Amino acid sequence: MSATMTHEGAVHTASHDHGHHDKTGTVIFGFWIFLMSDLIAFSLMIANYADAEWHGIANGPSPHELFSLGLPTIETMALLISTFTFGLCTLGMKYGASMKRTVFWLVVTLALGAIFLGIELYEFHEFWTEGNTPQVSGFLTAYYSLVGLHGLHVTSGIIWGILLMVQMKTFGMNDLMKSRLVRLGLFWHMLDIVWIALFTKVYLMGVLS
Amino acid sequence: MNILGSLDWNDIFIVPFLKEPTLSTGIAAGAGGIVVLGALALALLLTVKGWWKPLWSEWITSLDHKKIGVMYVVLSGIMLVRGVLEAVVMRAQQVSPAPGFLSVEHHAELFSTHGTIMIFFVAMPFLTGLINVVMPLQIGARDMEFPFMNAVSLWLSVGGAALVMASLVVGHFETGGWTAYPPYTGINLSPNEGVDYWIWSLALTSVGSTLSGINFAVTIYKQRAPGMTLMRMPIFAWTTLCTAILMIFAMMPLTVASLMLALDRQAGFHFFTAAQGGNMMNFANMFWLFGHPEVYILILPAFGVFSHVIPTFSGKKLYGYTSLVWATIAIAVLSFTVWVHHFFTMGQTTNLNAIFGIATMTIGVPTGVKVYNWLLTMYRGKLRFSTAMLFSAGFMFTFVIGGVTGVMLANPTIDFATHNSLFLVAHFHNMIIPGVLFGMFAGVNYWFPLCFGFRLDETWGRRSFWLWMVGFYLAFMPLYAIGLMGAPRRMAFFTDPAYLPWLVIAMFGALMVLGGLAAQVIQIWVSVKNRESLMVPAGDPWDGRGLEWSLGCPVPEYDFTTVPHITSREPWVDAKAQGKRVIDPTEFVDIHLPKSTGLPFVTAMIATIGAFALIFQMWLIAAVFFVAMWVTVLIRSYDTDWEETISAEELRKGYEAHKHLVETTPKATFEDEFTSKNRGLILEEVV
């Protein structure tokens, strides 16, 4: 809740016409609830993964045979930094006189997201060409689906961000754009938190296993 | 690659019958024919009457929560007819000499569609519809918080239902029951499109329900009238809130499990396969992680309805408001802690089963609290047995029996003996028919005037109640008996002659239920025909207790002329106690209502066609429609002019007109409650 308040504060909605409640705050509140529902999906996928990495190896590789920490650490760094840069983007929206700073940090954020995604796809490609496709075992199915679901979220975040920049150019930085940017921010930060869980469970604990 | 995927001529409903004319294929062809002819007849009627345009401009494009609610209920009514007819065919199958007139696969399709339809396309839209109509009126809101998303939810549900109907005409539905457990529903054992119909129709409607849940919760948290604290909310709003929270958390497991099943089937993944490390128990756990809260998603709104109908027709305040609220919250929380009781026999340790068994029995406690609340509300009340009240009383009677058998089944040792038997089938019908359907029927009979301005015919309403009530007992009590004798569920036919007398009674009961449904259709027909004499324009036909009865019937588009300021739990009762029949206006201001738009309908229909393409593996078409769906969302994001204004002046006029109407309406007494003298202004005694 307190984060909601912070973000509502960041939006500074200008007009409060009579008999009309604060729509921006409510929309953001609704989006929080949506994210809670989305987190259920991730939780279930993680639970499924936790089961599959024990019982689902079949004839395929086990986690510590498959994973190394090098690339995943770099992609984790990219995503963590992108969360920081999104913070700068939000600050730019709140204090910046023009849209410039906001847009600049948004571009940096999305670029970091793209780097993250690129590394992930590269890893998928490597595994795939070694013959470790999702069809090999329950474990690989769970791995590709869990990490892939997160990757799909990042992809939609990037597309959303690009479309939002187009709209910001069309409409200018009005309340609606601010509200949308705040929601993208919530989405992006959630993906970061989810990734910390994934990195720990899949890669760190996988390599140690 | 074939652009039409796996679709071929043999999938068209009439072709199997022409190739191999048997009674079973004939019934399948007939059912497909009914769907096609029904659609054509509807199109013809709309054309002849010139109703296409009003249908589009006043209903399909409407974002008014009351109209969306009505459309939900209509959807549910249509699907209810199909569900009940399927039940009757299954009952007929089991009383005819073995092996009956249906093929085993056809029978399996019937029980699978029956279950899927009754849960997802009858119960869910019914309660969502009722919530849509009533909840905003009860809390002093003018609409749902997100009216556009509300319409998207509706049309996604309609799309899901359309796919289930399409399975009668094109291809087959699945045969693995409404739970669709793999590995039976995996690609090896269920190679045709049946399971995909199940997956994608549910995907559409479960996304719709998740969005509805978000909408309801945010509306209740953010849109209550000033002064309406949570503990002043009407009980129906409370049960809606709990249901909404359950929807937000419980629909996702279904979506995840069914999409994983889709990946197993179409992409060769191994989530639930029997080989290569798949684990079907993950499906069972996720399905019931949805499935058990789902039971309470269904039943809590009905509990809300009873908590309004019973006080109104007992002429008393609800007994024990606070305990009812806490019981509702307790049920909502506990509903997430019992899911394993759906598969006690699937290999957990005894200790785990014991824990879940005890948790299950615990839910009986808050539910029992509620029954006492309603009973004590009726105690020493002046009871008036309207149709709505009859359904409520019938519910309490019947539901307690179902609750008792539920506590029996909660004991794992008993469950091992009765698992997968007709005893279980009798139990859950015993919960859901009185618990959900009777509640929804009571709600429709009670709140109908809010939408249309007239009451429903009482004579036919009471007939429908007695047919449903007696029909229910005849149809399901025998199933308890033969279930205990050992009859398993989902059997296409039985050869044990000892079951036959019981099955004949059950068949007769099913016909009575069908009669009850027919009586309800007649009830609506008769009411529409006699609507002049059933009009209740003053808006309070039952001496109601909630804000929704203070607005006039039908409720105007803007709901409230001014936002009421709430100082107690029953502001409308307080106002009437002071002799007022209209709530004093607060401040007239310009208000904003959402503009009508056809975009939610378009989005959802595109999604539906995309889902149909996925079912028949038309990947290219599916991809195109998936992109198109998001394009419609993008189009909406460019639309910033989504509200229209209603001026303060217009609202003032509306208020004056309503006040004048109430002042000139003749008063009626309770003796005349169900006669044409009741014009919506009713008092215990005329003073």
Express each pLDDT in B425-473 by its tens digit: 999 999 999 999 999 999 999 999 999 999 999 999 999 999 999 999 9
Each residue of B298-339: pLDDT tens digit?
999 999 999 999 999 999 999 999 999 999 999 999 999 999
User: CB–CB of B214 and A30 under 8 A?
Assistant: yes
The predicted model gives A122-144 an average pLDDT of 96
Nearest to A30 among B145, B592, B637 (CB): B145
Instruction: Name the pTM for this structure.
Output: 0.95
Q: How many domains does chain B have?
A: 1
Interchain CB contact of A135 with B (< 8 Å): yes
Which B residues 55-74 touch A at CB under 8 Å?
none
- How many other CB atoms sit within 10 Å of the CB of residue A170? 9
Closest CA to B599 of B50, B56, B51, B52: B56
| CB-CB neighbors (< 8 A) of B253 in chain A | 40, 44
Compute the distance between CA of residue B370 and CA of residue B301 in angstroms, rounded to an integer. Answer: 13
Rounded to a whole number of angstroms, the distance from the CA of A69 to the nearest CA of chain B is 25
Please say whether the beta carbons of B440 and B130 come within 8 A. Answer: yes
The predicted model gives B570-575 an average pLDDT of 94
Interchain CB contact of A162 with B (< 8 Å): no
Tell which of B210, B246, B279 to mutate to test the A interface (max A CBs under 10 Å): B279
Quick one: pLDDT at residue B385? 96
- The CATH class for the domain spanning A36-208 reads mainly alpha
In sequence order, the β-bridge partners of residue B668 are B682
In sequence order, the β-bridge partners of residue B170 are B12
Each residue of B503-524: pLDDT tens digit?
999 999 999 999 999 999 999 9
The conformation of residue B123, written as its DSSP 8-state character, comes to I
* Structural domain boundaries in chain A: 36-208
**What mean pLDDT is reported for chain B?**
95
The predicted model gives B344-370 an average pLDDT of 95
**Domain of B198: which CATH number?**
1.20.210.10
B296 domain-assigned: yes
The predicted model gives B537-560 an average pLDDT of 94
Task: Kindly identify which residue of chain B lies nearest to residue A28, measuring between CA atoms.
Answer: B218
Each residue of B285-300: pLDDT tens digit?
999 999 999 999 999 9
B27 domain-assigned: no
Please say whether the beta carbons of B298 and B432 come within 8 A. Answer: yes
Interchain CB contact of B590 with A (< 8 Å): yes
Which B residues 214-273 touch A at CB under 8 Å?
214-215, 217-218, 221-223, 248-249, 251-253, 255-257, 260, 263, 267-271, 273
Closest CA to B168 of B206, B201, B126, B125: B201
User: CB–CB of A138 and B263 under 8 A?
Assistant: no
Rounded to a whole number of angstroms, the distance from the CA of A87 to the nearest CA of chain B is 24
Quick one: pLDDT at residue A98? 79
Each residue of A172-208: pLDDT tens digit?
888 899 999 999 999 999 999 999 999 999 999 999 8
- How many other CB atoms sit within 10 Å of the CB of residue B529? 11
pLDDT confidence band for A19 (50 / 70 / 90): very low
Compute the distance between CA of residue B382 and CA of residue B151 in angstroms, rounded to an integer. Answer: 41
User: CB–CB of A145 and B251 under 8 A?
Assistant: no
Quick one: pLDDT at residue B685? 62
- What is the sign of the dihedral through the CA atoms of B98, B100, B105 and B109? negative
Q: Higher model confidence: residue A13 or residue B609?
A: B609
Length of chain B: 687
Quick one: pLDDT at residue B1? 61
pLDDT confidence band for B641 (50 / 70 / 90): confident
Quick one: pLDDT at residue A8? 41
pLDDT confidence band for A15 (50 / 70 / 90): very low
Nearest to A138 among B256, B277, B640 (CB): B277
Q: What is the ipTM of this complex?
A: 0.92
Each residue of A87-119: pLDDT tens digit?
999 999 988 777 889 999 999 999 999 999 999
Interchain CB contact of A176 with B (< 8 Å): yes
Residue indicated by tokens 């009669």: B515
Which of A97-111, A131-145, B237-251 is predicted least confidently?
A: A97-111
The predicted model gives B618-643 an average pLDDT of 93
Q: Is the pLDDT of residue B51 over 80?
A: yes
Which of B2-16, B90-104, B111-125, B346-360 is predicted least confidently?
A: B2-16
Quick one: pLDDT at residue A1? 33
Whether the ω angle into residue B497 lies within 30 degrees of 0, i.e. cis, is: no
For B71, the domain range is 51-535
User: CB–CB of A134 and B592 under 8 A?
Assistant: no
Nearest to B279 among A29, A56, A59 (CB): A56
Quick one: pLDDT at residue B642? 85
Quick one: pLDDT at residue A21? 55
- Phi first, then psi: give them for residue B458, nearest 5 degrees: -75, -40
Nearest to B279 among A26, A55, A180 (CB): A55
Cα B331 to the center of its chain, rounded Å: 19
Nearest to A40 among B249, B263, B279 (CB): B249
3-state secondary structure of B207: helix
Compute the distance between CA of residue B542 and CA of residue B552 in angstroms, rounded to an integer. Answer: 13
- How many other CB atoms sit within 10 Å of the CB of residue B220? 24
B22 domain-assigned: no
**What mean pLDDT is reported for chain A?**
89
| CB-CB neighbors (< 8 A) of A164 in chain B | none
Closest CA to B510 of B131, B88, B183: B88
Interchain CB contact of A20 with B (< 8 Å): yes
Interchain CB contact of B351 with A (< 8 Å): no
